[in-house]
Amino acid sequence: MQHISRHFVNNVDFIAEDLEYIDRRLPKSFDLIKERPQNLGSLSRKVLRAACISVLAEYPHRKTIDYMGISLLTGIGNFQSALNPGQTINIDMGYKKLSFQGIETTAYVDTNTWENLFHLAVILRDYESINILNTVPESLMRGSDIIGDEADYPIIRFYKGFYDSRFENQIGDLLIEALKAVRPGLHEGEREDYLLFVKGPELDLYGYFFSDKQEEYQQHLAESILNHKRYWTTDERDHDREGWISLPLTAACAIAYDNKGYSPEVDSPYVPLWLVKREF
């Protein structure tokens, strides 16, 4: 099996110390949600970073799953709050239940946040959360504090369509529209590089999956992981949590594994096999 190592990250032990701080703060953060539901989005983002740190530092798998679950449910709670101001929102994390009144907010309802939550939901096989995310209208994301460019929306329509039976016969067209949106020459600078090395290869992977081309799928998966590594191996990006684990590729592989039985033939910390195979 081919192995693709992670790019070098300095001071992993120092970075991992953040987990101790987050663990100490979580109980108080939960208690504050009732009075400050506006904190949900930032809490979700911080815990997602913790999940990525736990993968980087090779913590027990259960720790990573707990962080992912908290990030997913608090992030979705923030979207629900923004969509239902004045209504009671309940979040059940099993060991902790949160209840608060929804408020109007434009924070952490952007396209990047939506995509992160979608990928977490797919990896965790949390189909209830996927259904909730599918109800989020583009208008909310377009009105967020951080407005994505037009390439984001056809990508999200494709993601939504995969889990919406109404688009069962249109998923190929949705993928084509998403691929058109990320084709070279439409963007500039770092955004162009991101779409070229990260999003484009991920979307192409779905194309091989839909076409039942397993050999090409496996070859392209290895190329996609190498492109991910190439993009994140820079002095400016090597400490960005998005680079430590590829949530998009891990989610895509989970879908291929669950639906077609495609087990990755490449081993890489960017796409943890235990997450793909749901060994948790």
Does residue 105 contact residue 38 with C-beta atoms inside 8 Å?
yes
Print burial letters for 47-82: b (CB count within 10 Å at least 16), e (below 16).
bbbbbbbbbbbebeeebbbbbbbbbbbbbbbbbbbb
Phi, psi of 268 (to 5 degrees): -155, 140
The tokens of 177 are what? 């529209």
Q: Can you list the positions of beta strands (E) in the chain?
A: 2-3, 88-92, 97-101, 266-267
**Angle in degrees, CA 254, 92, 165, rounded to 5:** 45
Per-residue confidence (pLDDT) for residue 188, from 0 to 100: 85
pLDDT digits (tens, 9 = 90+) for 6-48: 998 888 888 888 899 999 999 999 999 999 999 999 999 999 9
pLDDT digits (tens, 9 = 90+) for 160-199: 999 988 887 899 999 999 999 999 888 888 999 999 999 9
Per-residue confidence (pLDDT) for residue 8, from 0 to 100: 87
Write down the domain spans for the chain. Answer: 10-148, 167-280
Confidence class of residue 95 from pLDDT cuts 50, 70 and 90?
confident
Per-residue confidence (pLDDT) for residue 120, from 0 to 100: 98
Does residue 68 contact residue 120 with C-beta atoms inside 8 Å?
yes
The sign of the dihedral angle between the CA atoms of 103, 108, 110, 112 is negative
